[in-house]
Structure 1
Amino acid sequence: MTDPTSVRHDGDTWDLASSVGETATAAAAARALATRANPALIADPFAEPLVRAVGIDFLTRLATGAADEDLVDQVWIDIAVIRTTFYDNFFQTAATAGITQMVILAAGLDSRAYRLPWPTGTVVYELDQPPVIDFKTRTLADLHATPTADRRPVPADLRDDWPGALRTAGFDPSRPTAWSAEGLLGYLPPEAQDHLLDTLTDLSAPGSRVATESRPNPNPGDDAETKKSLNHLSDRWRAHGYAPDMAGLRYFGPRNEAAPYLTALGWTLDSTTLRDLLTATNLAPLKDDTMRSGDVLYVSGVLGTSMM
């Protein structure tokens, strides 16, 4: 049965062991698995201890290698490799271009402020729900982890005045910014996605950069197939004591696709499908792609100028 407390609703809140926050912990577990499987491609030493600290037993067993990795499809690990390296490269390219102001939206258990080799003077703003920000800050401090940039946590809900909270933390909209919205947009209602992209554009000086994923709008029957696949995954994990409502956390139906929407706002984008990124990284192609994951575009772009 579906846990009614896990289904999205107006004003819902979460931590890293519930609702949308739980997906951040699952993503970190995937990074821990990927770090062991592909250390030449991804190295996130903080993923495993952060998952352990959250305390979801099934995800802890996966992250630490104590559970049978056959409980997850290889594609879950491969997508973690693709996503992590894509956004790592995005931020490092932005830093090389001279951008010193980075904003990670819905940061979850992202550890880039601690593990990337940031140039001196880089400020990394991490924005997420207050319980999420507080947990990660305390846990990494307990691990004696030291940020490699000027890390500035921003405890704020994206449905509230997060630009105000960002400015309070020292954000300067007159300076170019690199923004990431990783694995985020599908958990926002369509109008909230548009508002987010409008707002970060309004806060961006010329030369700012953005990176996100752009999922194609569903064809007839696609949403039903996606829900079926997500429910199958939930049922598979439920047999091992973990019962997330994967379908209940997502917003379905048509929306403005992120890539053309950002282009209309003045961003010049490069985009690559997940399918092509898997091929370029010598990872296995997708099989039985009923969720059309292979068609998801990974996009990055510059505001007010051409891509370099």
Structure 2
Amino acid sequence: MRTDDDTWDITTSVGVTAIGVAAMRAVETRRADALFRDPCAELLVRAADPERFGRLIDATAEPEGAGEGQTAVRVRAVMGGFMVARTCYFDGYFRDATAAGLRQIVILASGLDARAYRLEWPTGTTVFEIDQPKVLEFKSATLAEHGVEPLAELRTVAVDLRQDWPAALLAHGFDPARPTAWLTEGLLRYLPAEAQDRLFDNVIQLSAPGSRIAANFSLETAEQATQQTRARVLAQLGLDLDVGQLWYPNDGRSDPAEWFAERGWIVTCTDATRVLTELGRSFPADADAAIGRHNLMTATLG
């Protein structure tokens, strides 16, 4: 159960969800028709615990019809499909932002996001990653051990987003006079509703004209079948984790698209099924509703 002052490393609580996301990216990277390549993902997952977490990759990558792998196939279709869609969407978001001249990037709750290491950043780009201290330490140490270097100037900001993260960000050289591309990927449900609004308020206060923010969110409750499937897979893999217990309720939570639009930002939205369809990636018809619950948003300050 979450508390207002809880903390974690990469193998506990919210940290484990970052491993799950990286595992889905590793599975996609293995595909011959991969829609993106993240060579850091599998390195990070296996470094956390090759036996325990390596199974997240190996089981989910099993071919269809492989007995116990049938459950994994369902997870790959729903959870993996959504992860692929949002990864592609946010990769494109950063390409568009840098093409427009933005050179200041802030990734909030960066987890095992390896974009600083795998995307092609224009000269002069600075990427700020904000997350729990132990999470940032694990990622940077693991990638350094494998000789993987960031492709932009990377500044890690070790602070809890429920604390005074703007002060920490400014102390690391963030310039609020420069337009910024913000990213909140897989973050919002891990914040209480009031903390989400406070985070958005801080983003606006720190954003110069031309800044952008991208986010994924769902204001619906996860369907029971999806919850049961996820729990069954985690149990098969020996992982005692109820992801739903890590989320804060949606009661009283603002709609991010409406929130930014009401404050003068230009908002565009899509959903994960549309992104996958536009990329030519098929998915089972019975997964359409589950994947489509996930909204993807970009807002720009004119």
TM-score using structure 1 length: 0.88
Tell me how far 1:287 sits from its aligned partner: 4.4
Structure 1 residues 201-221: Cα deviation after superposition (integer angstroms, max 9, x where no partner) = 1110010011001323x4xxx
Tell me how far 1:10 sits from its aligned partner: 1.5
Q: Which of 181, 195, 200 is the matching residue for 2:198?
A: 195
Partner of residue 32, structure 1 = 26
Distance 1:84 1:19, change over 3 A: same
Distance 1:236 1:145, change over 3 A: closer
Distance 1:38 1:173 in 2: 42
Distance 2:246 2:265 in 1: 29
Partner of residue 13, structure 1 = 7
Partner of residue 87, structure 1 = 90
Distance 1:100 1:165 in 2: 19
Q: Is the 8 A contact 1:227 1:247 kept in 2?
A: no
Structure 1: segments with no counterpart, 5+ residues: 1-6
1:263 alignment partner AA = A
Q: Is the 8 A contact 1:174 1:204 kept in 2?
A: yes
Tell me how far 1:232 sits from its aligned partner: 3.8
1:172 alignment partner AA = D
Distance 2:143 2:6 in 1: 26
Partner of residue 16, structure 2 = 22
Partner of residue 43, structure 2 = 49
1:274 alignment partner AA = A
Distance 1:22 1:79 in 2: 18
SS at match of 1:26: helix
Is the deviation greater in 260-269 or in 232-241? 232-241
Distance 1:271 1:21, change over 3 A: same
The answer to whether structure 1 residue 298 and structure 2 residue 301 are counterparts is: no
Distance 1:164 1:38 in 2: 44
Structure 2: segments with no counterpart, 5+ residues: 64-68
Structure 1 residues 192-239: Cα deviation after superposition (integer angstroms, max 9, x where no partner) = 1111111111110010011001323x4xxxx3x635632442133213
TM-score using structure 2 length: 0.90
The answer to whether structure 1 residue 249 and structure 2 residue 246 are counterparts is: yes
2:239 alignment partner AA = Y
Q: Is the 8 A contact 2:86 2:272 kept in 1?
A: no
Distance 1:180 1:186 in 2: 14
Distance 2:134 2:300 in 1: 32
The answer to whether structure 1 residue 272 and structure 2 residue 275 are counterparts is: no
Partner of residue 139, structure 1 = 142
Q: Is the 8 A contact 2:183 2:214 kept in 1?
A: yes
Distance 1:252 1:282 in 2: 34
> RMSD in angstroms over aligned alpha carbons?
2.1
Q: Which of 65, 73, 78 is the matching residue for 1:75?
A: 78
Q: Is the 8 A contact 1:177 1:205 kept in 2?
A: yes
- Aligned-residue sequence identity (percent) comes to 43
Higher relative CO (Cα under 8 Å, sequence separation at least 6) belongs to 2
Q: How many residues align?
A: 292
Distance 2:107 2:183 in 1: 5
Distance 1:262 1:66, change over 3 A: closer
